Amino acid sequence: MKLEMKDAPGQLVAALKPVSLVGGNIVAVIHQHDPQHLSDTIDVQIVLELPEGKLETLVNLIRNEGVNILRIGEERLLVRHSVILIGHLMHTDLSDTVDRIDTTGFAEVAELHLVMPAIDQPSSAKITIKSTSDEAMGEALAILREVARQKKLMIIEPLEDHQ
């Protein structure tokens, strides 16, 4: 689910609370607060699991919190591929790196595991991308390789065969 909400304290909690109210499980939340962002709204992506038949109730509860639902998607991305990125990931705008994949329409970052040993040392992230096909995965990985080159990040791949 991709949500748009007011950029104000407590909005993220208000948007996520309905998930637990319907018996759902939050798998991942992708959100980075940027104080230099000029809009009064922020986008948040959530990956969640819901009991059968609870989506409509969840949508109503989220909307009652004043949160706009931009996109709801079921599992449509069938090809998975993971890579490791190493470098100053936060200083080179990790959300931009994720957005470059997510905005393609044919692939998105499904998982992100970040390790930051110290502020002045390189961090590392395992990024799992899901795509609609092997060809689309190739395009997504090409985008990620170009981003890594531009941001001077090391990329280690493949961590597994396409699944």
Give me the chain's average pLDDT, please: 86
Residues 60-105 have pLDDT tens digits of 999 999 999 888 876 555 788 999 999 999 889 998 999 999 888 7
* pLDDT confidence band for 162 (50 / 70 / 90): very low
Q: Could you tell me the two tokens for 53?
A: 């038949």
- pLDDT of 34 reads 63
Mention every residue, 6+ apart, whose C-beta is less than 8 A from residue 25: 19, 48, 49, 50
Which domains, ranges and CATH numbers included, belong to the chain? Answer: 2-71 (3.30.70.260), 79-156 (3.30.70.260)
- Share of residues in the chain with pLDDT > 70 (%): 90
Say which range, 15-24, 28-37, 67-76, 135-144, has the weakest mean pLDDT.
28-37
The H helix count followed by the E strand count for the chain is 4, 8
Spatial distance between the Cα atoms of 107 and 91, rounded to a whole number of angstroms: 24
